[in-house]
Amino acid sequence: MATVAFIGLGNMGGPMAANLIKAGMTVTVFDLNPTAVAALTEQGALSAKTACGAAAAADVVITMLPAGKHVRSLYLGDDANKGLLDVVSKQALLIDCSTIDADSARLVGAKAAEKGIEFMDAPVSGGTAGAAAGTLTFICGGSDAAYQQAQIVLTVMGGNIFHAGAVGAGQIAKICNNMLLSVLMVGTSESLQLGLDNGLDPKVLSDIMKVSSGGNWTLEKYNPCPDVMENVPSSKDYQGGFMVDLMVKDLGLSQEAAVASNSSTPMGSLARSLYVNHARQGNGRRDFSSIFEQFSKKK
Amino acid sequence: MATVAFIGLGNMGGPMAANLIKAGMTVTVFDLNPTAVAALTEQGALSAKTACGAAAAADVVITMLPAGKHVRSLYLGDDANKGLLDVVSKQALLIDCSTIDADSARLVGAKAAEKGIEFMDAPVSGGTAGAAAGTLTFICGGSDAAYQQAQIVLTVMGGNIFHAGAVGAGQIAKICNNMLLSVLMVGTSESLQLGLDNGLDPKVLSDIMKVSSGGNWTLEKYNPCPDVMENVPSSKDYQGGFMVDLMVKDLGLSQEAAVASNSSTPMGSLARSLYVNHARQGNGRRDFSSIFEQFSKKK
Amino acid sequence: MATVAFIGLGNMGGPMAANLIKAGMTVTVFDLNPTAVAALTEQGALSAKTACGAAAAADVVITMLPAGKHVRSLYLGDDANKGLLDVVSKQALLIDCSTIDADSARLVGAKAAEKGIEFMDAPVSGGTAGAAAGTLTFICGGSDAAYQQAQIVLTVMGGNIFHAGAVGAGQIAKICNNMLLSVLMVGTSESLQLGLDNGLDPKVLSDIMKVSSGGNWTLEKYNPCPDVMENVPSSKDYQGGFMVDLMVKDLGLSQEAAVASNSSTPMGSLARSLYVNHARQGNGRRDFSSIFEQFSKKK
Amino acid sequence: MATVAFIGLGNMGGPMAANLIKAGMTVTVFDLNPTAVAALTEQGALSAKTACGAAAAADVVITMLPAGKHVRSLYLGDDANKGLLDVVSKQALLIDCSTIDADSARLVGAKAAEKGIEFMDAPVSGGTAGAAAGTLTFICGGSDAAYQQAQIVLTVMGGNIFHAGAVGAGQIAKICNNMLLSVLMVGTSESLQLGLDNGLDPKVLSDIMKVSSGGNWTLEKYNPCPDVMENVPSSKDYQGGFMVDLMVKDLGLSQEAAVASNSSTPMGSLARSLYVNHARQGNGRRDFSSIFEQFSKKK
């Protein structure tokens, strides 16, 4: 059975690591926050004093961090500290599950390749609920060999597992998807409100569009108009779900990628601006379907 | 068996009327173009010298015209000419299948109601292929009674038949759907191109997004990136399908509705501007998925 | 000295008519609101029981109404009522100062021309302050002769008087200008906020851009960032000035024109959506430079 | 008289250095391209074998490089090479005239400050013509002392010299201005075309808007509609001026800054997408006012 190091035990990383433990794996964890570490050791994890200490003897190293700079620093080290790449076994598989800029993923991947170590980016979607339930979606970027080898841990933590291409492709595929999702959400919101403003019942209009050429994931699973669907954030005052602040983060990553590759994304960048406005009006911690309120009349 | 008058025998109206004839109905046709009339009389239609002549004795009157002004003029007449409302039987059901502004539909509906006549707007989608095959989608606006009564003819010409609400609701639901469709098409195009610009295979990216939260009708049925799907316009140099000029028309209707109801449609109006630019560059008669070329690199 | 009929005595029309009286002209007024009429007769105006009664004997007829439908109805009449065109002298000059859709202006102009009567559209800008001070800007559409003849009244009510072209051109020029103004205001707001978010002093940044290639009317006269300029709405909690609701109206007219002429206006239509959102959040009666708050951080 | 090192002798840097020589200063130059160096030594410059060699003994060091990575590498060095900060005199003033991301400018500024060296970012506008004529605009970010000290060289190379704030503020002010400029250019283009599509003379419309609330730098100096102004790129098939590719670069920098500071820039990001589309259609090396052609009808 593989030994796993898990570094970064936040809202997502914590339950992901817990699922590996439940599956019987030997998991050594590290986080700067001792409370987060304690929560895992109570469930049977080993702990280490440093990230490098946790990773040194592992077959698989999994990291879950906030941003590209943390990932670069952890894997590459700096003047004062060694990086993971300096201490792990050549046979180890490194999997970064953070959602970060593709350039950082590619940089770490290139440095790992120089040392003959397999690295894969594997950003997730599915939120804290999916992390706890072990039903996350992983979008992977790395070699075929790495992708195959990773199945042993990813299938424990997730449901859908995709192979998007080489290192960095996981990040790109995720931000392409989430940029498109933001466009679906805004476009669906304004279309439903246009119907409402012209006297249509939003349930009837949703039912028509859902099976017509306007059909999309938000109409199917996540209708933004209150009281059209049950058990979605729009029917619970936009609580829960995927926060506006996280959508703003992902749209920022997609815009950075678009600038770097000289790509045109009129809809995606407009969605980003609307979401930033929405966040600045105090909605950052509400579900991202609350963008519907930008279009609906104030009561 | 109902007797039907069919007025407006263009690319859509001609095959629609032909399907009614094939179903054994007595159909009296009218069009300003004698060639279009002759094509139907050869298939067994009766003809009349005027639209009012065709409609006077019919149980059901179906009209298929280019724009709101034609519909208003035909139904309401003017100083010189009687309108359909002046000549039809009080028991007749009037169905306008044109895609026009909702205000015109509501105006004709109100005038019909004053005379105790049932009127329904029932714009279609599905194109000339759907008209010929009898598989059109109808989105209806009118009373429940009118909607029930209309089934006898609509089921002959179409597959999906929706009841969106009162008179005018058919037009509104159609333009909401088509506005959303344009947003899906542009958003999907720019997302795929962003992936391509960053080294992803568009088939792989499409497969991932199709089953993820970016999933939408264009990824499912009508991928805009060449050679991702077979038998769609993008794989046939954007020939066939739904013309850019028709999307521009529908987006114009959606903007007129948005202005009239004081609604905000940032994505829909941006899509309209991008489609107008695209049409002005000479792409008006190509399929609307050719908007993808606005984002792809010039060879 | 010319005799003038003035129809429509609202916030703008009232002070405009008053200036004509002060200049010694014989002015006969009409409005549906008797209080508005009384305010003018106290200043020396004559009054009439109907609009047609006021206009019948006038050398110059000036109208100031809310929307195209009012203008069409007043000038053209309907089944029950005569229109101005039915009663005025062939030598009269008709000047409509309303801000309306160009199609309505062109329709009235064409009907007037059929009867050999000169009609001119002359929408104004400058607000109620300009109306009171007699410093309005008029943008005229009509023949050279009409434009010359109109100087006698326009110079009394206004400062800048432009001749944009034939009938309807006044309306088009005004909505082109106001659409561009909305773009300047939004673009300047987001640029200033981007600077602020990056630590710049908005006064310093405004001073730099004002004399650089970013220079525009809003930086010169109407800075949207609070406390950069004195005596502008942004430094008075966005009170006074040009209301958001009026900008929304003008942007609606520009979008109707763009749809009718199949024109692409990505910036103008985006500005319209942002202003509609802003109005729906309760800002309709604040100055239009308050759009700056869509970009600034919530306190 | 100050001794100057000038590093980076491209289309802009070459003529800038030449003007310093003409003013009698002792200028030591460096560029990777020996032809560029030769062009300056013929005019009286000294040359050095390395950038550090040129800078070591200079009172003022001026750099003009393509992007942030070049600036970081030159000033900070790397594992193999020393950077300018390692070799220059503590009394030297370092001025980077490149247009780069503000983060790179701030990083270099912070590292210089650690060593007690004055660093200033001073991006320019005015193009190659302004560089040759010595009429460039400089927008400076740095201490008051640095700004005062820099006058001796900046006044030789430029006309307008602005002090935007601390290190990095020059870059921010420049991208704010250029983002706003792009919005003015697109907004003016679509407004003029909307007028044209409705029968107005673009000269007449430009004259009206120029002195009205739509007034802006592009109407004043750089009208994008052909044949409205003489001696501007739009009247010379959009040759010369400021290239689309350079505007795309600056809009990329503004979007990176907006993402970093979590700012909303709906107009600026839309302008970027439209300019990227325009560049991809083969217009990258034409003047940026050629965006007008995106809105005008195909002949």
Q: Which residue, chain included where needed, has tokens 């004055």?
A: D118
D180 and C163: CB-CB below 8 Å?
A: no
CB contacts of B255 in chain C (<8 Å) are 255, 258-259, 269
Residues 6+ apart with CB under 8 A from C175: C99, C102, C250, C253, C254, C257, D194
Which of C124-128, D138-142, D166-170 is predicted least confidently?
C124-128
In chain A, which residues touch C (CB < 8 A)?
266, 270, 277, 280-282, 294-298
For D278, the closest chain B residue by CA position comes to B294
Cα-Cα-Cα-Cα dihedral of D109, D115, D118, D124, to 10°? Answer: -30
For C296, the closest chain A residue by CA position comes to A280
Which of A282-291, B3-12, B268-277, D124-133 is predicted least confidently?
D124-133
Q: What is the mean pLDDT of residues B1-13?
A: 93
Q: Which residue, chain included where needed, has tokens 């003007």?
A: D19
Whether pLDDT at D105 is above 70? yes
CA distance D201 to D223: 14
pLDDT of residue A2: 81
Smallest Cα distance from B292 to chain C, Å: 18
Where do the domains of chain A lie, and which CATH numbers do they carry? 3-167 (3.40.50.720), 172-294 (1.10.1040.10)
Chain-centre distance for alpha carbon B208: 31
Neighbours of chain A (3+ CB pairs under 8 A): B, C, D
Percent of chain D with pLDDT over 90: 95
When pLDDT is cut at 50, 70 and 90, the band that residue B240 belongs to is confident
CB contacts of C264 in chain B (<8 Å) are 272-274, 276-277, 280
For residue C36, the SS3 value is helix
CA distance C209 to C207: 6
B164 and A208: CB-CB below 8 Å?
A: yes
pLDDT of residue A197: 97
CB contacts of B279 in chain C (<8 Å) are 262
Detail the DSSP E strand segments found in chain C: 3-7, 26-30, 46-47, 60-63, 93-96, 118-121, 124-125, 136-141, 158-165
* Pick from C226, A274, B264, C198: nearest CA to D265: A274
Other residues' Cβ atoms within 10 Å of the Cβ of residue D294 = 26
Q: Which of C139, C262, C263, C289 to mutate to test the interface with D (most CBs of D within 10 A)?
A: C263
More confident residue, D127 or D222: D222
pLDDT of residue D95: 98
Cα-Cα-Cα-Cα dihedral of B79, B85, B88, B91, to 10°? Answer: -160
CA distance B295 to C14: 53
pLDDT of residue D299: 52
Contact C65, C9 (CB under 8 A): no
A111-118: list long-range contacts, CB under 8 Å, 24+ apart: A111/A75, A111/A76, A111/A85, A112/A75, A112/A85, A113/A167, A115/A85, A115/A90, A116/A90, A117/A85, A117/A88, A117/A90, A117/A92, A118/A92, A118/A93, A118/A94, A118/A142, A118/A143, A118/A145, A118/A146, A118/A149
For A242, the closest chain B residue by CA position comes to B213
A215 and B220: CB-CB below 8 Å?
A: yes
CB contacts of C265 in chain D (<8 Å) are 190-191, 194
Which among B270, B277, B298 is the nearest to D294, CB-wise? B277
DSSP state of B262: T
Whether pLDDT at C299 is above 60? no
Whether pLDDT at B1 is above 80? no
CB contacts of A279 in chain D (<8 Å) are 262
CB contacts of D184 in chain C (<8 Å) are 183-184, 187, 213-214, 216
Smallest Cα distance from B243 to chain D, Å: 18
Q: Output the furthest CA–CA distance in chain D (Å, rounded).
A: 65
pLDDT, averaged across chain B: 96
Tell me: the pLDDT tens digits for B58-73?
Answer: 999 999 999 999 999 9
pLDDT of residue D127: 87
* β partners of residue B60: B4, B93
The conformational region for residue A252 under phi > 0 = left, psi -120 to 50 = alpha, else beta, is alpha
CB contacts of C270 in chain B (<8 Å) are 266, 269-270
Whether pLDDT at D1 is above 80? no
pLDDT of residue D79: 82
Q: Which of A78, A103, A262, A281 to mutate to test the interface with D (most CBs of D within 10 A)?
A: A262
C180 and D188: CB-CB below 8 Å?
A: yes
CA distance D251 to D271: 8
Tell me: the pLDDT tens digits for C144-194?
Answer: 999 999 999 999 999 999 999 999 999 999 999 999 999 999 999 999 999
Q: Which amino acid is at D287?
A: D
For residue A96, the SS3 value is strand
For residue B143, the SS3 value is coil
For residue C90, the SS3 value is coil
Smallest Cα distance from D113 to chain A, Å: 20
Percent of chain C with pLDDT over 70: 99
Q: What is the mean pLDDT of residues C66-81?
A: 94
Q: Which of D263, D276, D292 to mutate to test the interface with C (most CBs of C within 10 A)?
A: D263
**From A49, A69, A115, A174, the catalytic residue:** A174
pLDDT of residue A299: 53
When pLDDT is cut at 50, 70 and 90, the band that residue D297 belongs to is confident
Chain-centre distance for alpha carbon B210: 26
The encoded tokens of residue C68 equal 């195209």
Which among C277, C280, C298 is the nearest to A282, CB-wise? C298
Whether A299 sits among the annotated catalytic residues: the reply is no
For D259, the closest chain A residue by CA position comes to A252
DSSP string covering chain B, please?
A: --EEEEE--STTHHHHHHHHHHTT-EEEEE-S-HHHHHHHHTTT-EE-SSHHHHHTT-SEEEE--SSHHHHHHHHH--SSS--HHHHS-TT-EEEE-----HHHHHHHHHHHHHTT-EEEE--EESHHHHHHHT-EEEEEES-HHHHHHHHHHHHHHEEEEEEEESTTHHHHHHHHHHHHHHHHHHHHHHHHHHHHHTT--HHHHHHHHHTSTT-BHHHHH---STTSSSSSGGGTTT-SSSBHHHHHHHHHHHHHHHHHTT---HHHHHHHHHHHHHIIIIITTSBGGGGGGGTSPP-
Contact C175, C42 (CB under 8 A): no
CA distance D197 to D152: 52
Smallest Cα distance from C94 to chain D, Å: 22
Per-10-residue mean pLDDT, chain A, length 299: 93 97 97 97 96 96 96 93 95 97 96 97 92 96 97 96 98 98 98 97 97 96 97 94 95 97 98 98 96 86
Residues counted in chain D? 299
CA distance D222 to C241: 30
CB contacts of D269 in chain A (<8 Å) are 255, 266, 269-270, 272-273
CA distance B47 to B51: 10
Tell me: the pLDDT tens digits for D285-296?
Answer: 999 999 999 999
CA distance A241 to A246: 11
Regarding an ipTM greater than 0.90, the answer is yes
C216 and D212: CB-CB below 8 Å?
A: no
